[in-house]
Structure 1
């Protein structure tokens, strides 16, 4: 289905709000940075290495391999080992499977322990929850995303978790959005999708007839000028206005004060 021009789409006030998870509600990027810093601390091979450059290398390898994992070409454990073998090879580490697996295991342990929400994510969900049906639409494993939501204290704020593993297709395929609408009893015109990935979250939502709100935390270039953009989930009134058309939701604001 080709992208529809802005004039052919008719959006109304939302009854359903969809979110991506990784780097939209869950701060994957900074969690991964922190995990790499701890995992490499004290290793002489990394004493002179710029950690931001190392993270960018890690991120590029992850972005390349993640679709192959989702397509079933690698298991998650195999892909994790291969990623770290590629990352470590320029530094003379990870030459054997055992060495790469040991490093990957340490890193993933830190990554799990250090998980944190994107700033503003929890207050935003708490403000929306009493008034809207909330769904997560994510390209990942169901068990891992459930684990993240629990650790981040978000599970009780989510009405439906829709994963590529369960649906059998990945964003931007409109089918995954259609499943989300079915589970949440929503229509495209009354739904907004908040996400950080231009192709998966913005283009995917548009192709499903859903209004996207692009979370552009890292100053990327906006390809379609009519797509609404935010650069942060804070301050809360500004984000609520972008999502719902209202800067405050009185019932929930009182709940926030009392919590």
Structure 2
């Protein structure tokens, strides 16, 4: 017998589009790479160090500690310091708390300055906004995500920001999706979730009856062939069609349904 997640329901044309934020609308991965390059520039300890290796080490530590921060085991300041103590230790740096905290502060300032959207994200939101409700569902702190949306020029395009900090659970927990539906007064069947994380965004959405669209920017393996996948948020017209099953008529700003149904 197929599992529940293998049986995709007959989804309706949507009224509501949910997005993940980090690495879906906000290009965290490339911002983090650029930040590491800036933070370590001119430091003898990093001469000849492969930036991609350093980024992978940084990402693994971040992935491990982020749920602990969201669970309240660390403040975000303490977690940032501890992350950099672990990252810097193999290079003979960050041996004291003050040294790690100084590097972490400098790094975070660079990270804030270098934030960039995922290519195509802003035009896509602008195309969707006149016709659909738009929500962001994210596993992060509310203030930080508000700052990102404001800096990226997206805040005015978002109808609701739902964070794990506010709700008290991380995606893929169903409650965070139910809160998003309640705030936007939408049903699951008329909602689409666009996100890059297979478990948090795809499985989480499916569990509550929301149609997922997987943004697979980094060549991941799709575990359910029935789930629709895109590899970019460009070109806007193609992504809009994948999300909504409708086409944007650029000359009028109207949307029209594609000839076949979304289930076909």
TM bucket (normalised to shorter chain) is over 0.9
Q: Is the 8 A contact 2:5 2:203 kept in 1?
A: no
Q: CA RMSD in A?
A: 1.5
Q: Is contact 1:127-1:253 (8 Å) kept?
A: no
Does the alignment pair 1:112 with 2:119?
no
Corresponding residue for residue 160 of structure 1: 160
Alignment partner, residue 124 of structure 2 = 124
CA contact (8 A) 2:16 2:191 kept: yes
**Aligned position for 2:24:** 24
Deviations 1:124-152 (CA, angstroms, capped at 9, x unpaired): 00000000000000011110000000000
Matches of 1:96 and 1:165 in 2, distance apart?
Answer: 30
> Runs of at least 4 residues of structure 1 off by over 6 A?
none
Q: Tell me, yes or no, if the aligned pair for 1:84 and 1:104 is still in contact at 8 Å.
A: yes
The 5 A counterparts of 1:45-194 are 45-194=45-194
User: Residue deviations 1:93-128, cap 9 Å, x none?
Assistant: 000001101111111000000000000000000000
Assess if the C-alpha contact under 8 Å between 1:85 and 1:100 holds in 2: yes
1:193 counterpart SS class: strand
Residue 33 (1) aligns with residue 33 (2): yes
C-alpha deviations, 1:23-78, integer Å up to 9, x for none?
00000010010010000000000011000110010001000000111111111001
Secondary structure, aligned partner of 1:247: strand
TM-score with structure 2 setting the length: 0.93
Q: Distance in 2 between matches of 1:187 and 1:3?
A: 23
Instruction: Please give the alpha-carbon distance, in whole angstroms, between the structure 1 residues aligned to 2:209 and 2:75.
Output: 33
Conserved? CA contact 2:8–2:226, under 8 Å? no
Count of residues in Structure 1 that have an aligned counterpart in Structure 2: 253
Q: Partner of 1:257 in structure 2?
A: none
The whole-number CA distance in structure 1 between the counterparts of 2:189 and 2:100 is: 48
Alpha carbons of 1:234 and 1:66: their partners in 2 closer, same or farther (altered >3 Å)? same
Cα distance change, pair 253–90 in 1 and its aligned pair in 2 (3 A) = farther
Aligned-residue offset at 1:169: 1.0
* Structure 1 residue 6 displacement after superposition: 4.7
Taking structure 1 as the reference length, the TM-score comes to: 0.95
- Alpha-carbon offset, residue 237 of structure 1: 1.1
Does 2:225 align with 1:225? yes
Per-residue deviation at 1:4?
Answer: 2.4
1:212 Cα shift? 0.3
The answer as to whether partners of 1:18 and 1:194 remain within 8 angstroms in 2 is yes
Structure 1, unaligned stretches of length 5 or more? 255-259
Q: Corresponding residue for 2:11?
A: 11
Equivalent pair of 1:128/1:252 in contact (CA under 8 Å)? no
Does structure 1 conserve the Cα–Cα contact (< 8 Å) formed by 2:188 and 2:208?
A: yes
How many Å separate the matches in 2 of 1:195 and 1:249? 25
